[in-house]
Structure 1
Amino acid sequence: SVLEELDSKVSQRNKAVFKAHQALKEERDFITQLVDSAQMLIITTGPTHHVQLFNHFGEVLTGFSKEEVEGSEVARFFPAGNWLQTDTIFKELFLGNITTAHQEAEFVDKAGQLKQIAWFHSRVEKSDSETIVLSVGVDTTETREAEKRIVWMAEHDPLTDLCNRRKFAEEFEKSIQNAIRYQHTNSLIILDLDRFKDINDTSGHRAGDEALKLVAKTLVRITRFTDLVARLSGDEFAIIMPETDQKGAITLAKKILSELTSIHLNYESIRHTISASIGIISYPLKDATANEIMGYADLAMYKAKSLGKSRYHCYSLDDQSRQQLEQRVVWKQKIEDALENHLFVLFYQPILDMQDNQIRHYEVLIRMRDPISGEITLPGKFIEIAEQVGLIQQIDHYVLHHSIKKLAALQKQGNTCKLAINLSGAVVDTPVLLPYIKRLIKQFDVDPTAIIFEVTETVAVANLHQAKLMMTAIKALGCRFSLDDFGVGFASFNYMRELPIDIIKIDGIFVRHLDHNADDQLFVKALIDVAKGLGKKTVAEYVENAEILEILREYGVDYAQGFYIGRPKESLIEKGSL
């Protein structure tokens, strides 16, 4: 019937409508699910700037619920400092002048935590002609923190948290420009720790690091908040003091010296004290660049070191001392480069056994090789400067390390020669020498009886008690000692008895004219006789011809050394006999 047919059509239409409604609901639910599951903050905002939609991730990120947010003003997501920009963006979007916008803004969540949000705003026109703004926020807090950390690390020393050399150079340049622009005086302090290497050598690098951190904390504590403290390199620090003249810088330098001496680092039963040499310069200086001013401050610091350390020195424009100091800086750099790039080389000069004309031992001599030309520089050019700028101990340790390593290699090849190694006054007077030698002997498994240490007469008697203790302790390891340059320092035969030495080296000044100088002949003969009486061996240096060699043989000298025997070379003599 007609009614049945109509009823059937209505039923089919209802089913179709329900099905369509169900499909729309499923689509809407799916979109809602997509919005809620998206790992970003999603907000829609109407023309009145009230939030219409707030997704689930937004709840998780902010700590606010949908109920708290939806219907509230969108301004809650933007701090006062950012809202003016956001308000302008929203107005432009609603007017249709722009369709998208990007914004970085801070946001404080419900727990009071500050977050960094990257916002992407889009204009969306709904089917009912209503326009909304879709705002998608990405949490960039961790990324921003990582970026800040990277920037911080690029400008700071990770050990001490002080500014590094890169940041210092940037700020120092600004400081000079400000001083020129505003016509005021600034000051720069360069500070270098004294004998810092002793701490590393006796107690290890952890102790050294701890010392550097203590120094850094002390400098930060006693300087003004306007001062900039930086660590330039290993044990070198710098302080920029704005609007401070030389008098003010001296006041701080005195305080630094006083505070550093009160630092006592106790590490594995060893007590270390800390001191520093300080250079001071006030600027700007006429036509002087940042690097030049830094160089002048370095010069002043080296002067403080040469005057005895643990003191300050102000840069002076005295031309003569300036030229000398500048040369010192040049050579200091050369020495540092040589240590770092292994440009020091060891030469070996043969020493003849007069009893059987055999070469059984060599003196180890250091040279510096130019990295470009290959030219060899003799130690007379750099040893004194190394002593003045505090690098002599590193050179001594370099020679010790490579000499004992060489000796170990020779012994493994069956070579029974002995090596005589020079020790400077700087290393003889330090507590690190004995443990360092012990460590090298153990490390390279070398026979210590093949090692002869040479110290000059002047060094040995400068601190006789300390020298005797040091020699006795090292001889207990099996090594021997030779007293070098005997006769030129104090010319006292009494020191032969006082010091636990095995060999006396007669200085070349008494040997080189031995073939025609009667006074030298009397002195050398007497010295050899006294040495024999005390049970000491003798070595004559500067043997440069056959006549001198024969005179020495007649006098009964034990060993001869000089150009007539053999010049210093990088390799040992192949044959044992002369």
Structure 2
Amino acid sequence: MNEPGAIAPERACVPRDHHQNADSTQLAAPLDLSAILTSAQETAFRWHIPTDCMIWGDNAGIVLHLPSLTAHKGSDWQFLIFAEHVSRRYDSIAPKAKGPPYSRRSYRVQYRLMPRGRRSQLSLWIEEHGAVETGSDGMPVVASGIMRVINERYEEEQRLLFLSDHDALTGQLNRVRLTDALAASISRARAPDRPAAFFIAGIGNLANINETFGFDTGDEVIKTVGERLRARLRGGDTIGRYSSNKFGIILNECDRASASIAAERFLSAVRSETIKTSACELQAQVVIGGVELPLHADTVQLAIGRALDALDRAKSRRTGGYVVFEPNAKRERDRQRNLIIADEVTHALSDGRIHLALHAIVSAETIKPVCHECLLRLERTDGTMVSAGDFMAIAERLDLGRMLDRRALELAIDYMKKNQEIELALNVSTLSTTDHEWLVALHGLAGGRRQLLERLTVEITETTAIHDLDQTMAFCDALKELGCKVAIDDFGAGYTSFRNLRSLAVDKVKIDGSFIKNLPADPANRVFVESLVSLARAFRLETVAEWVDDEETAAILRKLGVTHFQGYLFGEPVIVTEPKVAARHAARG
């Protein structure tokens, strides 16, 4: 008797009602493994390596397109493999290093096969996977497994590989592969008498085209420019898309004179005729910056940096065209200094060595502090302090300004929580005025406490305000909604109008220090300040004069009606966070 739940052997593969299924007899028929393998484009094999004898499945001739299977030996089969792939297969089956005696290991390899011989046009992509058995000496004795024709899959893999290596719009190498090619070119160029050159070609008017006609038209321009540049390449040269409006061009075995000729060839290719787009016919303005390899750049980073440097100088010229990088001692010193400062800022942020310094803003009437401006100080590893003026501008150019703004915000809010009566003014960079995350952090750090945020004034420079007025308006509205006050810093440097100030709904105007510095001796500056204060009073705005360093200047400003002063006359900035290096030294002591 069968156990409960068991299937009777004679009924396991047969339907209950034979009359309900006309094909039921097929289910009970023996499996035709050869037919199944053929339908999957697969065949089996066994290769006895010492005798070089290969035994094939019955369907091998059909699957592998062999009219009569003549590959009875491993060497015969190897002869049908594409020459460049022969070693690939052999190394997979019989690697140079011996294996353990009487062991078995699996392998998988892909290669191109010429089933009708190497003169035939027919080729197949084969994926072979199986197992290799070793003998007593650890050397391969038998390889057996499955061969599968993978033409369609290989073509799809190659298509995906192409897409991963190439820019979708232009079909050229993407930035990653371009830099790989550049590294290889620099390596070859180190050989004697094999100089190379690297160009970055930029479409100077692409932003205007995008803004006027839309990004679809801009894409048409990019694609056409790329095609024209590629058409002027020599054999062996390479082009790729470096960024949205820039192409990188690698010129192998190209000296300085030849590079100049090539640059003119590329420029002429783009300038020679207009570009037909779906909007209208347009003219692309292309400029090129170049660098000699390896003479002036022996690394990828240097090559790209110096080509971009040359490109910037080409853009600044009225005639545009081509500029080749020329070494400049002062520029290199400045560049190295910038790198050192960037490194110092990055490590100081990581190590907690960015500190808060407060500089008093006093009432013009009482000369008592009513607010303190937050300034940053960088503590070096030797304990010395660096003022923000020595690193902030460089940090902003290198996209570190956002991180410094976030750190300043954290320090300011923390200080305000510990000092309930103090009011602070905090500067933000242009990047932070467009960063929603900064506003989120402001609200989060304050815990949504409006009473705390009402003691905070956020200062935006005038140049930042007029850079994107709509964006600045949205930023100011968000600050006011949270309870903060808003001040325009360095007013007068950007020559904006009071109408803009009104649209921004600011509370204070800080007069740029350059108009205050020599006020007693400069009548023109006095007239400007007087006019500005008069307009500010009409708009009911408070005014803060920066750089007030002597009593004479303070007296003039008080007479003109300035409401607040800031300067060394009323004290120097005071660091209010504990220096890390000094604390460590004290702990050791």
Query: Shorter-chain TM-score category?
Result: 0.5 to 0.7
Contact 1:229 1:239 in 2 (8 A): yes
In structure 2, the partner of 1:4 is: none
Question: What SS does the aligned partner of 2:567 have?
Answer: coil
Q: Secondary structure of the equivalent of 1:542?
A: coil
Which of 205, 222, 247 does residue 260 from structure 2 map onto?
247
Q: Deviations over 1:351-377 (max 9, x none)?
A: 223346565556566x58479678765
1:558 maps to 2:563:
yes
Find the residue that maps to 1:54 and give its secondary structure.
Answer: coil
Output the CA distance in 2 between the equivalents of 1:297 and 1:436: 33
Report the alpha carbon displacement of residue 163 of structure 1 after superposing the two structures with TM: 3.6
> SS of the residue aligned with 2:310?
helix
Indicate the SS of the match to 1:476. helix
- Structure 2 Cα separation of the partners of residues 345 and 424 of structure 1: 25
Indicate how the Cα distance of structure 1 residues 217 and 451 shifts in structure 2: closer, same or farther if over 3 A, else same.
farther
Deviations 1:316-340 (A, max 9, x none): 24xxx34324523652785599699
Matches within 5 A, 1:422-571: 422-423=460-461, 425=463, 427=464, 430=467, 433-441=468-476, 446=481, 450-460=485-495, 467-468=496-497, 472-473=499-500, 475-479=502-506, 482=509, 484-485=511-512, 506-510=515-519, 519=521, 530-531=531-532, 533-534=534-535, 536=537, 538-544=543-549, 549=554, 552-553=557-558, 556-565=561-570, 567-568=572-573
Which letter maps to 1:172? L
The answer on whether the counterparts of 1:351 and 1:360 sit within 8 Å (CA) in structure 2 is: yes
Matches within 5 A, 1:146-185: 162-163=172-173, 167-179=177-189, 181=191, 183-185=193-195
The CA distance in 2 between the partners of 1:219 and 1:258, in whole Å, is 13
In structure 2, distance between residues paired with 1:235 and 1:338: 31
Give the C-alpha shift of residue 414 in structure 1.
1.1
Compared CA separation, residues 213 and 183, structure 1 to 2 (3 A): farther
2:431 to 369, 380, 398: 398
1:418/1:120 Cα in 2 relative to 1: closer, same or farther (>3 Å)?
closer
* Partner in structure 1 of residue 417 of structure 2: none
Partner of 1:82: 81
Counterparts in 2 of 1:195 and 1:251: CA distance versus 1, 3 Å: closer
Distance 1:213 1:113, change over 3 A: farther
Unaligned runs of 5+ in 1: 1-28, 90-99, 124-132, 267-271, 461-466, 489-505, 511-517, 573-578
Q: 1:341 to 1:276 in 2, by over 3 A?
A: farther
What secondary structure, in the 3-state scheme, does the structure 2 residue paired with 1:222 have? Answer: helix
CA RMSD of aligned residues (A): 6.3
Matched position secondary structure for 2:451:
coil
Instruction: Give yes or no for contact 1:421–1:452 (8 Å, CA) kept in 2.
Output: yes
Q: Which has the larger radius of gyration?
A: 1
**1-structure distance, mates of 2:186, 2:349:** 37
* Alpha-carbon shift at residue 544 of structure 1 (Å): 3.9
> Residues of 1 paired with 2:450 and 2:183: CA distance?
58
Q: Give TM-score, length-normalised by structure 2.
A: 0.56
Alignment of 1:285-324 (within 5 A): 285=295, 292-304=302-314, 312-317=322-327, 321-324=328-331
Is the 1:305–1:389 contact (alpha carbons within 8 Å) kept by the matching residues of 2? no
State the match for 1:421 in structure 2: 459
Deviation at 1:560, TM superposition (A): 0.4
SS at match of 1:136: strand
CA distance in 2, matches of 1:396, 1:261: 41
Residue matched to 2:413: none
Change (3 A) 1:302 1:117: same
2:338 is matched with which residue? 331
Counterpart pick for 1:54 among 53, 58, 64: 58
TM-aligned CA deviation for residue 557 of structure 1 = 2.8
Output the CA distance in 2 between the equivalents of 1:306 and 1:413.
Answer: 48
- The code of the aligned residue for 2:430 comes to H
1:240: how far off?
0.8
User: What is the letter of the counterpart of residue 254 of structure 1?
Assistant: L
**Would the alpha carbon gap of residues 571 and 180 (structure 1) be closer, same or farther in structure 2, given more than 3 Å must change?**
closer
* Deviation (angstroms), 1:250: 3.1
Aligned twin of 1:106: 112
Q: Structure 2 stretches of 5 or more lacking a match?
A: 1-27, 91-103, 116-121, 134-142, 404-427, 578-589
Question: Is the CA contact (8 Å cut-off) linking 2:510 and 2:544 kept in structure 1?
Answer: no
For residues 101-143 of structure 1, what are the alpha-carbon distances to aligned partners after superposition, in whole Å with 9 as ceiling and x for unaligned? Answer: 997543599xx894323166999xxxxxxxxx98731456688
1: CA distance, partners of 2:402 / 2:205: 9
Q: Is the 8 A contact 2:225 2:270 kept in 1?
A: no
Q: Distance in 2 between matches of 1:288 and 1:342?
A: 31
**Alignment partners' CA distance in 1, 2:382 and 2:277:** 47
Q: 1:429 to 1:159 in 2, by over 3 A?
A: farther
8 Å contact kept, 1:351–1:362: yes
Distance 1:457 1:526, change over 3 A: closer
Deviation, structure 1 residue 310: 6.2
CA change 1:323–1:80 in 2 (3 A) is same
Equivalence for 2:96: none
How many Å separate the matches in 2 of 1:341 and 1:390? Answer: 15
Give the one of 227, 234, 237 matched to 2:237: 227
Counterparts of 2:527 and 2:156, CA distance in 1: 77
2:407 alignment counterpart: none
8 A Cα contact 1:441 1:447, kept in partner: no
Q: How many residues align?
A: 468
Relative to structure 1, is the Cα distance of residues 565 and 379 closer, same or farther in structure 2, using a 3 angstrom cutoff?
Answer: same
Identical columns (%): 16
- Paired letter, 2:335: R
Deviation of 1:33 after TM superposition, in Å, equals 4.3
SS in 2 for 1:316: coil
Residue identity in the other structure for 1:412: R
Moved more, 302-311 or 476-485: 302-311
1:375-434 deviation digits (Å, cap 9, x = unpaired):
765454457768999999999423435886687666834143463634364x5664xx12
Amino acid at match of 2:125: K
2:516–2:548 CA contact under 8 A, matched in 1: no
2: CA distance, partners of 1:348 / 1:196: 45
Paired residue type of 2:481? V
